[in-house]
Amino acid sequence: LEGLLEFRHFAPQSTPPGRAVKGELVMFVPTTMSYEELRREYTARGDGLRRSDLAPDPVVQFEAWFDVAREAGLYLPDAMALATADADGAPNCRMVVLRGVESGGLLFFTDYSSEKGRELAAQPRATLLFFWNVFERQVRVRGTMTKTSREQSAEYFARRPRQSQLAALASPQSDGIEDRAGLEALFESARARHEGEAVPLPDDWGGFRLDPESWEFWQGRESRLHDRFVYRREDDGWTIQRLAP
């Protein structure tokens, strides 16, 4: 296999080392292939996505797709791209993780003084994007961000692993730092200060909830004739429309 680059689908973390996983995808791609030659056909779901497949409520539809990704053992099925813009309209994007769905909104937690926190303070409209490549599916959610309550943020923070709590307390997220050693020194200092006691919730740390205005469900199809359906909020319900790919 010299000259080939291997892409392996991650198995669930609970899978014993060395054990074969049913349905594991291993793909060998020549290292000399150009970006254009990486093109592939979308064939994961030959019958595509029909209007009759969709639930009336986009949250129900999302959770159905999310459950498929989670039960298949995909690595980080909760990963989502968060797109924001600053006060001047300059776009930005990064990966975060979904930490809950409540009242139709999607939750994640972060440092409010980070770059994304500052951007959301200046412009609270944002988009989240999930991509489950094995199933050739995307879900795009657009809406307005609001902060969770201090109480809700504290409840979630208390459930985080202690190392993650200390990292949140120690790291000046998005600020420039001298080197890795300096960051690790901040972490060790936080560890020493709170040895034997609960790690306090940082002052500028908490959750955001995206309250959706629209949801788009995308299913890859052959010949790039993908299936796309968008839910748009209307009064107390949702309208559903097919979009051209």
The pLDDT of residue 7: 46
Q: In the structure, what pLDDT confidence band is assigned to residue 1 with cuts at 50, 70 and 90?
A: very low
Closest CA to 115 of 148, 161, 155, 82: 82
The pLDDT of residue 18: 36
d(CA 208, CA 156): 12
The pLDDT of residue 236: 86
Closest CA to 130 of 183, 236, 58: 58
The pLDDT of residue 10: 46
The rounded mean pLDDT for the chain is: 89
Q: What is the mean pLDDT of residues 190-207?
A: 96
Q: What percent of the chain has pLDDT over 90?
A: 77
Q: In the numeric block, which tokens belong to residue 242?
A: 């097919």
18-32, 124-138, 214-228, range with the lowest pLDDT: 18-32
Q: What is the mean pLDDT of residues 57-84?
A: 97
Residues 154-177: pLDDT tens digits?
A: 999 999 999 999 999 999 988 898
Catalytic residues, by residue number, are 224
Residues 92-125: pLDDT tens digits?
A: 999 999 999 999 999 999 999 999 999 999 999 9
Q: In the structure, what pLDDT confidence band is assigned to residue 191 with cuts at 50, 70 and 90?
A: very high
The pLDDT of residue 15: 41
Question: Per-residue b/e over 90-127, b at no fewer than 16 CB within 10 Å?
Answer: eeeeeebebbeeeebbbbbbbbbbbbbbbbbeeebebb
Question: Model-level pTM greater than 0.75?
Answer: yes
The pLDDT of residue 209: 98
